[in-house]
Amino acid sequence: MNELGAAIIGCGSIFPLHANAIAGLEGIKLLAVADSDMTKADQAGVEYGCLATHDYRDILDREDIKVVHLCTPHYLHAEMAIDLLNAGKHVLTEKPLAVDLPSARRMLEAAEHSKGQLGVVFQNRYNDPSFRMKEMIESGTLGNLICMKGIVTWHRNDAYYRDSTWRGAWDTEGGGVLINQTIHTLDLLQWFGGEIASVRGSVTTDVLNGVIEVEDTAHACIDFSNNVRAVFYATNGYLVNSPVEMELIFEQGTLLLRRDCLYLWKDGKETLLCEPFSDITTTVGKSYWGTGHRRLIQDFYGHVREGKAFWLNGHEGIKALKLVSDIYNSSNRTKPQEK
């Protein structure tokens, strides 16, 4: 198998998940890491035995680097992805696609004209319970889907925002709990529900006033064209990071996601349908991030290697960003740039 060269830009919290996933893949070699903080770049370069640079543009002319992972702050995704796609690289960007829809659309356009592909990390789509929920909606095993519920109650404190100053600001993070922490759950709701007919919602800062300028709490009611309704609540103001909870009510049964396990409630009986991956204990990172990074990254490389179009591309990734944007627009507190 020909070796495929990779690079990662951004050596912060999410970096080890990407670097370790690459290290576990046959035929893929991490050739470079980039971080504007040279100490972080050097540390990562030494740990993974590759070139370290402070300027991602050093990667653009490297013929041997075919795939680049973007693990940088949200406001840098568009600029970096467009430069890389224009240089013919395949780009796998962390969520969200960008800080706003116009930037995201520019990325999609660059991908259209590139020989490289654009993939987006929504790793929770790769969780077994997510596949199972999607499959049960499509097969109609439990009749039609009627409504859904998504609840995310996590904890982010001053230290989290002090640690990386791009977080907590409209310009650099693009929002708060909606665009960063709960975009995964919104992505699943829209993936399950299909075409969205209308969105009503509201965002507030309940706990982190004076620490962040964006919201820490949000709720929404999402109506889909097929008459399915989803209600959603999310906050960063809980005191622990509690596992995401979801409920999908069908005509003939209910699916419940609790503590990352999927249960079926049917005819007065609860049955466990699936548990999280067995590698949950060996995965680096936090359990509430989900365990799908390795699967998603492997799948992306599989598509790149075979020259096939990756399914979780820019067009798929922009859907959750559109939903985030619709909730901001519906709220009495909109994103400054979208007023």
For binding to ligand NAD (CB under 6 A), which residues are involved? 9-14, 34-37, 40, 56, 71-74, 76, 94-95, 121, 123, 164, 180, 289
Closest CA to 62 of 94, 84, 35: 84
Residue number with CB closer to ligand NAD (65 or 76): 76
Segment (H or E) for 293? helix 293-306
Residue number with CB closer to ligand NAD (13 or 313): 13
The answer to whether the bond into 73 is cis (omega within 30° of 0) is: no
**What are the helix and strand counts (H, E) for the chain?**
10, 14
Residue number with CB closer to ligand NAD (94 or 216): 94
CA 308 from centroid of its chain's CA atoms: 22
Residue number with CB closer to ligand NAD (87 or 121): 121
Residue in the shown chain whose Cβ atom is closest to ligand NAD: 12
Q: Tell me the C-alpha distance between 322 and 210, whole Å.
A: 28
Residue number with CB closer to ligand NAD (14 or 274): 14
In the complex, minimum distance from the CB of residue 71 to ligand NAD, in angstroms, rounded to a whole number: 5
In the complex, minimum distance from the CB of residue 256 to ligand NAD, in angstroms, rounded to a whole number: 22
In the complex, minimum distance from the CB of residue 180 to ligand NAD, in angstroms, rounded to a whole number: 5
- Identify the burial level of 322 via C-beta atoms within 10 angstroms of its C-beta, where 0-12 means exposed, 13-18 middle and 19 or more buried: middle
In the complex, minimum distance from the CB of residue 65 to ligand NAD, in angstroms, rounded to a whole number: 15
In the complex, minimum distance from the CB of residue 142 to ligand NAD, in angstroms, rounded to a whole number: 29
Residue number with CB closer to ligand NAD (224 or 289): 289
Residue number with CB closer to ligand NAD (37 or 112): 37
Closest CA to 304 of 86, 115, 32, 79: 115
CA angle at 77 for the pair 72 and 83, rounded to the nearest 5°: 115
R_g of the chain computed on alpha carbons:
20
Q: Across the strands, what pairs with 209?
A: 212
Terminal Cα distance for the chain, rounded:
51
- The CB-side HSE value for 35 (13 A sphere, CA atoms) comes to 18
In the complex, minimum distance from the CB of residue 285 to ligand NAD, in angstroms, rounded to a whole number: 7
Contact 280, 9 (CB under 8 A): no
Residue number with CB closer to ligand NAD (228 or 327): 327
In the complex, minimum distance from the CB of residue 223 to ligand NAD, in angstroms, rounded to a whole number: 27
In the complex, minimum distance from the CB of residue 258 to ligand NAD, in angstroms, rounded to a whole number: 20
DSSP output for 184-239: HHHHHHHHHH-SEEEEEEEEE-SS-BTTBSS-SEEEEEEEETTS-EEEEEEESBSS
